[in-house]
Each structure stands twice: as structure tokens, then as C-alpha cells.
């Protein structure tokens, strides 16, 4: 809260919130991202996903990148399809369970507050949509048409040619009228 330099208070008011971004920050001290999946690393990452971190934030917190984690997930999904069991398949299963856990928490909070007018569910809906777009977003329409206020109207080539010919004829008529000299006024 901003105050004049001569303002002296005995204590800070209770409504002041302290936001110190460096409070729990610990530098990783690593030269690059971790690229080898270990059970411990997978468990740390999945715990952060279950707590609500995005994939990018969770990956950065454990010392890797989201693209590396996506590679692990792809490798694990392919191994599951082959029927194999390894650290990657275990990671995929744990990751999906962690993400489902967080979505359940969001859904439960929405259901608990369904009658609460003060509860703003926009964040919950947005977070569900970003965490699982296949199940929590509306499908996109095929494209704009004249009925839904789109900028373009779909027409056949014949209709377009006819409309163009009509407009050209009107334009040429207007230009011809402009080019003709104005009729002389009769002198009285």
C-alpha cells in the first residue's frame, strides 16, 4: 500500500496481502533439462499435476521441459499399445490419474458451489477446458455462414457470376450518367 514518506503507522492494516514471488523459489542449478525418466522424477511431476500445475509449470519445477514430458507420454502410450510394461507406461498411467484427480477436485468445487451466487466458476470452466479440451469444450462449427453473422456468405459460382454481372451493369450505368453533360436550364 503506498503511503506518504512522513506517514507513520503503528501496524499495517489486516487487508494488506503480501505477494513475494521469491518466497519459495529455489534455483535448480542444472545446466539443461532432465531427459531421462526415473520413477522418482515421474512421481514428483505427477504430484505437481495432481496439485493443479500446468504441464509446462510442473515440468519446469522438476527440471525438465514440457516437450520432453510429452515425449515420455508418447513413448509410454506406444508401449501400452504394444502391451509392454516399463517406466514410461507406469508414468502415463500415473500422469493420467493425477490429471483426473485435479479435474475431479475442480468438478467437486463447482458442484459444491452450484447454488452460491458469489462463486465465480469461470476459472473452473477455463481450467477444465485447458486440462481436457476433448471433454470440456464445445465443438467448433464448420465455419461462418450468412445466418450466423459471419463475414462471408457461401454461394455457388453461378450465383457469384450473376451478382458480379448485375453490380457491373449498375456501376457502368452510374458512370455513364455521370459522364453525360447536365441538361441546360431553359432561359426565361
Which tens digit of pLDDT belongs to each residue from 148-177?
555 567 788 898 899 999 999 999 999 888
Least confident segment among 9-18, 44-53, 114-123, 132-141: 9-18
Question: Is 67 in contact with 16 (CB distance < 8 Å)?
Answer: no
pLDDT for residue 5: 60
Upper half-sphere CA count for residue 71 (Cβ side, 13 Å) = 10
For residue 109, how many other CB atoms are within 10 A of its CB? 14
pLDDT for residue 95: 96
Question: Is 62 in contact with 34 (CB distance < 8 Å)?
Answer: yes
Mean pLDDT of 68-93: 95
What residues contact residue 50 under an 8 Å CB cut-off, 6+ apart? 97, 98, 99, 101, 102
Task: Check residue 180 and report its DSSP letter.
Answer: S
Residue 19: pLDDT over 90 = no
Mean pLDDT of the chain: 84
What residues contact residue 33 under an 8 Å CB cut-off, 6+ apart? 63, 64, 65, 68
Indicate the pLDDT class of residue 22, thresholds 50, 70 and 90: confident
pLDDT for residue 47: 96
Indicate the pLDDT class of residue 65, thresholds 50, 70 and 90: very high
pLDDT for residue 11: 61
Q: What whole-number percentage of the chain has pLDDT above 70?
A: 81
pLDDT for residue 27: 80
Give the Å distances, CA to CA, from 159 to 81, 101, 164. Answer: 51, 55, 9
Distance of alpha carbon 177 from its chain centroid, rounded? Answer: 56
Amino acid at each position: 500500500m503506498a503511503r506518504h514518506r512522513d506517514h507513520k503507522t503503528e501496524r499495517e492494516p489486516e487487508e494488506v496481502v503480501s505477494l513475494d514471488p521469491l518466497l519459495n523459489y529455489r534455483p535448480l542449478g542444472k545446466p539443461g533439462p532432465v531427459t531421462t525418466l526415473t520413477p522418482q522424477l515421474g512421481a514428483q511431476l505427477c504430484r505437481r499435476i495432481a496439485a493443479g500445475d500446468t504441464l509446462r509449470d510442473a515440468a519446469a519445477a522438476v527440471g525438465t521441459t514440457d516437450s520432453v514430458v510429452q515425449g515420455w507420454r508418447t513413448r509410454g502410450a506406444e508401449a501400452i499399445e504394444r502391451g509392454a510394461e516399463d517406466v514410461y507406461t507406469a508414468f502415463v498411467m500415473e500422469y493420467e490419474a493425477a490429471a483426473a484427480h485435479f479435474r475431479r477436485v475442480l468438478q467437486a468445487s463447482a458442484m459444491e458451489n452450484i447454488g452460491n451466487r458469489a462463486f465465480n466458476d469461470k476459472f473452473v470452466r477455463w481450467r477444465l477446458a485447458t486440462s481436457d479440451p476433448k471433454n470440456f469444450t464445445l465443438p467448433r462449427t464448420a465455419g461462418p455462414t450468412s445466418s450466423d453473422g459471419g463475414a462471408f456468405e457461401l454461394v455457388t459460382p453461378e450465383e457469384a457470376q450473376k451478382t458480379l454481372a448485375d453490380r457491373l451493369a449498375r456501376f457502368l450505368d452510374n458512370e455513364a450518367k455521370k459522364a453525360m453533360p447536365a441538361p441546360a436550364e431553359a432561359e426565361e
